[in-house]
A and B are shown apart, each in its own frame.
Chain A
Amino acid sequence: MISASGLTKRYGNFTAVDGIDFEVARGESFGVLGPNGAGKSTTMRMIAATLLRTSGDLTILGKDPSRAGPAIRAHLGVVPQQDNNDAELTVRENLYVYGRYFGLPRSYLKPRIEELLAFAQLEDKRDTKIDTLSGGMKRRLTIARGLINDPEILMLDEPTTGLDPQARHILWDRLFRLKEDGATLVVTTHHMDEAEQLCDRLVVMDRGRIVAEGTPASLIREYASREVVEVRFGSDHNAEIAPLIADIGERTEVLPDRILIYTETGEESLQAIVARGFSPVTSLVRRSSLEDVFLRLTGRTLEDE
C-alpha cells in the first residue's frame, strides 16, 4: 500500500525527515514511534499527499503523490494531530460536508453517516454543535470523519494525545475494531502503550531517521531484557549508587530521578540490591516496554524534549 525509500524532507538547512525506508502492506497496522520533533508528522503529511517530498521515492496505493495527489487523497482517511472540525456546524453536518469534498453523493452519505455516528458513539450528539463536545468526542468525530470515504488507508497522527485515560481506552477500543475489520492503519504516537495496543509492526524514529523496526515484541526482545527493576534513591544519590549495583543486571540506565536495571529476573535482582545493603526509597519490578527500547536506542526518554 505504501512504499518509501530514501524519503527525505528538508526545510532550508533543517532536515526533518532524513532518508527513511519502509513498506506498509494491506491490512497492516503500522506505527511510527518517536518523540516530538522526530519527523513523524512530516512523514505522515508526505504519505497523506499534502506535503511534497524533497527527494527519495514514495509510492502510495501504486501512485506517486507528487503527480497524483488528488487521486491518492480520494482513498485516504486522515486524522490530524489537532482536531480541525468546523465549530459552526453540527456533528452530522461536519461529516456530511466532509463527505461532499470527496464528491460522494447524498444517497451514499446519509446511511454512511448513520453508520459512523454509531461507530463513534455519537448518535445522541448528531445535532449538537461541536464546540460543546468533550475532547474525546471531538476526537472520535475526527476519526469518523476520516472514515467517511471508506478509505483504503486510515492515517492517525497522535490519536489519543491529550485525552484522559478513559477517553483513550474508548478510542483504542474503536480503533481496535477497525483493525479487526481489516483496515490498514498508519499511526504515529509518542505513547508506548498506544503503540503496543494498536500496532502490528512499527518503526522508531529519532531526529528524522528510522533507528529500529519490528513488531513491538521483537523490538523489546532485541533492545531490552525481559524485566526491568526501577529503583530510586533520591536524586542526589542515584548517580553515586548506580556503579555499585551495575553488575547485578545486564545493563543499567541512570535517569535523573531513578535507576533502571535490565534483567531477566526482576525480583531476584531487586533482592540482590537489597542484600548489598542498599535500601531504595521506592522500587518497582515490571516487564520491559517500548519505552525501554526507545531509551536504549536514543539515550533519551520519549517524554523528553
Chain B
Amino acid sequence: MSLVTRAPAHSPEVDRRAARRGALYVAEYRLRSMWKWRRSIITDGLGNPILYLTSIGLGVGSLVNANLGPTGIDGVPYLVFLAPALITAAAMQGVMNEIMFPTLAGFLWDKGFFAMRATPISGGQIADGLLLAASARIVFTTIVYWLVLLAFGAVGWSSALTLIPVAILAGLSWGAAMLAATANVKDDSGFISLAMRIVIMPMFLFSGTFYPLSSLPLAVQWIGWISPLWHATELGRWLSYGMAMPPWQVAVSLAYLLGLGALGLIIARRRFERRLTS
C-alpha cells in the first residue's frame, strides 16, 4: 500500500468535474448535516403549522369571524385569509436556519468553508451550494405546511400548484438575502438574536400577516412594502382565494421577490469569494 502513488481516479476529467459541480458537492455535504437534524426539522415542520393554526387560526379566527361574520376579512373566513401568510412566513423562517447557522459555522465556528476552499471549490460555489441545500428545507417545510392547511380546511387542493410555489419563491429569495447579510459577519455575538429582533419580528408582525396591511396607520405601512413576506403573501392571497390585486401589483411583487433573490445571491457569491481569498 502506497499512500502517495497517483490513483487512477485522479484524471483531468475528475478535475474538470470537480470545478464544474462544486455547488452540488457543497449541497450534498449540507444535506448530510441536515439529515443529522432530521428530528428537529420534522418536529418544527409539523409543530409550527399545527400550533399557529390552532391558536391563531382557530382561536383568534373565531373572534374575527364572530365579529365580522364568516366572510370576515376580504370576503373569506379568517383561516383562509391567514393561510397564505403563514405558509410563506414558515418557508422564510425555515430557510434562515439552513443559511445563518451554516454560514456562521463555516466562517467563524469550525471554519469549514476554509477547508472547502482548499479544494477545487470556489467561494461562489459554496454560497450556491448552501442555498441549494436550504431549498430542500424550504420545499419540505412548505409541503408539510400546505398539508396541515389542507387538513384544517384553510386551503383547497387547487392551491397546491400556486400557493406552494409562491412560498418556495419567497423562501429562496429570503434565503439569498440572508446569505448575503450573514456572509460579512465577523463577530457572531448576538448577530442572530439581533436579526430576529430588528428584522424578523417586525417583518412578521407588520406585513399584513394577521390583518390587511391597509388597516395599519400609513406611517408603518412601509414596513410591509419593503417586506418580501408581504409581497409573497399578497401573491398567495391572490392565487389561493382570488383576492383583488391589479396586474401591475402582481408584476411588482413578483419582480421584487425575484430581484431580491438574484441580488442576494450575487452579493453573497462575491462576499464569499472575497472573504475566502483575503
A contact set with B: CB distance below 8 Å? 48, 50-52, 69-71, 73-76, 78, 80, 82, 84-89, 93, 97-98, 100-105, 108, 112, 115-116, 118-119, 145, 147, 149-151, 177-178, 181-183
Query: What residues of chain B lie closer than 8 Å to A182, measured between beta carbons?
Result: 4
Question: Which residues of chain B have C-beta atoms less than 8 A from A181's C-beta?
Answer: 2-5
* In the complex, residue of chain A having the shortest beta-carbon distance to the beta carbon of B119: A101
Q: Contact between A150 and B115 (Cβ–Cβ < 8 Å)?
A: no
A-binding segment of B10-18, B181-189, B234-242: B10-18
Closest to A86 in B: B112
**Given A86-B33, A115-B1, A150-B5: A74 and B120 interface contact (C-beta under 8 Å):** yes
- Residue of B5, B112, B120, B278 with highest tally of chain A CB at under 10 A: B120
Among B20-42, those with CB < 8 Å from A are: 21-22, 25-26, 28-29, 32-33, 36
| A70 and B29 contact, CB distance less than 8 A | no
Q: Is the CB of B14 within 8 A of A102?
A: yes
Given A50-B276, A71-B120, A85-B115, also A150-B25 (CB < 8 A): no
Residue pair A73, B120 in contact (C-beta under 8 Å): yes
Are B112 and A104 in touch, CB under 8 angstroms?
no
| A-chain residues with CB within 8 Å of residue B28 when the two chains form the complex | 97, 100
CB <8 Å contact, A80 and B114: yes
Q: Which of A88, A103, A150, A182 has the most CB of B within 10 A?
A: A103
Bound form: Cα–Cα A102–B33 in Å: 19
Distance in Å: Cβ of A74 to nearest Cβ of chain B = 4
Which residues of chain B come closer than 8 Å to A177, judged between CB atoms? Answer: 3
Q: How far is the CA of A100 from the CA of B121 in the complex (A)?
A: 10
Residue pair B18, A85 in contact (C-beta under 8 Å):
no
**8 A Cβ contacts from B127-156 to A:** none
CB-CB under 8 A from A52, the residues of chain B are 277-278
A112 to B8 alpha-carbon distance, docked (Å): 12
Determine whether the beta carbon of B32 is less than 8 Å from that of A93.
yes
Residues on B with C-beta less than 8 A from A86 are 29, 33, 110, 112
Q: Which residues does chain B contribute within 8 Å of A76, judged by CB atoms?
A: 118
Chain B residues within 8 Å of A108, by CB? 7-9
List of A residues within 8 angstroms of B277 by Cβ: 50-52
Q: How far is the CA of A116 from the CA of B1 in the complex (A)?
A: 10
Query: Which secondary structure dominates chain A's binding surface?
Result: loop
Task: Identify 29 residue pairs between A and B in the complex whose beta-carbon atoms are under 8 Å apart, listed by A's number.
Answer: A50-B117, A52-B277, A69-B122, A70-B122, A73-B120, A74-B14, A76-B118, A80-B114, A82-B111, A89-B33, A93-B32, A101-B116, A102-B120, A103-B17, A103-B19, A103-B25, A104-B14, A108-B9, A115-B1, A118-B1, A147-B4, A149-B10, A150-B6, A150-B10, A151-B4, A181-B3, A181-B5, A183-B3, A183-B4
* A97 to B30 Cα, complex, angstroms: 10
7 closest A-B pairs (Cβ-Cβ)?
A103-B18, A108-B9, A101-B119, A70-B120, A78-B118, A84-B111, A103-B17
Q: In the bound complex, how far is the Cα of B112 from the Cα of A82, in angstroms?
A: 11
Q: How far is the CB of A259 from chain B (nearest CB, A)?
A: 43
Q: How far is the CA of A90 from the CA of B119 in the complex (A)?
A: 20
Q: For B18, list chain A residues within 8 Å (CB).
A: 70, 74, 101-104
Most B Cβ at <10 Å: residue of A112, A147, A149: A149
- Please indicate the chain B residues that have their CB under 8 angstroms from the CB of A119 in the complex: 3
For B111, list chain A residues within 8 Å (CB).
Answer: 82, 84
Chain A residues whose C-beta falls within 8 Å of the C-beta of B116 in the assembled complex: 101
Q: Binary interface profile of B, 155-181, with partner A (CB < 8 Å = 1, else 0)?
A: 000000000000000000000000000
How many residues of chain B get a CB closer than 8 Å to chain A's CBs?
39
Contact with A along B181-202 (1 / 0, CB 8 A): 0000000000000000000000
Starting from the known contacts A84-B111, A181-B3, 16 additional A-B residue pairs (CB-CB under 8 Å) come to: A50-B277, A52-B278, A70-B15, A70-B18, A70-B19, A70-B120, A70-B121, A70-B122, A74-B119, A101-B29, A101-B121, A104-B9, A108-B8, A115-B3, A118-B1, A145-B115
Query: With the chains together, A191 CA to B103 CA distance in Å?
Result: 34
* A88 CB, min distance to chain B CBs, angstroms: 5
Choice from B2, B21, B110 contacting A87 with Cβ under 8 Å: B110
Min Cβ gap B121→A in Å is 5
A150 to B6, CA, bound (A): 6
Q: Which residues of A are found within 8 Å of B36, using beta-carbon distances?
A: 88-89
**For residue A104, which residue of chain B has the nearest CB?**
B9
- A71 — which chain B residues lie within 8 A by C-beta? 15, 19, 120
With both beta carbons as reference points, the residue of chain A lying nearest to B18 in the complex is identified as: A103
How distant is the Cα of A176 from the Cα of B81 in the complex, in angstroms?
70
Bound complex: CA of A80 vs CA of B15, how far in Å?
Answer: 22
B152 CB, nearest partner CB in chain A, Å? 35
B128: min CB distance to chain A, Å = 14
Which residue of B is nearest A115, CB measured?
B1
Which residue of the partner chain, among A51, A98, A178, contacts B3 with CB atoms under 8 Å? A178
Q: How far is the CA of A101 from the CA of B110 in the complex (A)?
A: 17
- Shortest A192–chain B CB gap in Å is 26
Taking CB atoms, residues of chain B closer than 8 Å to A80 are 114-115, 118
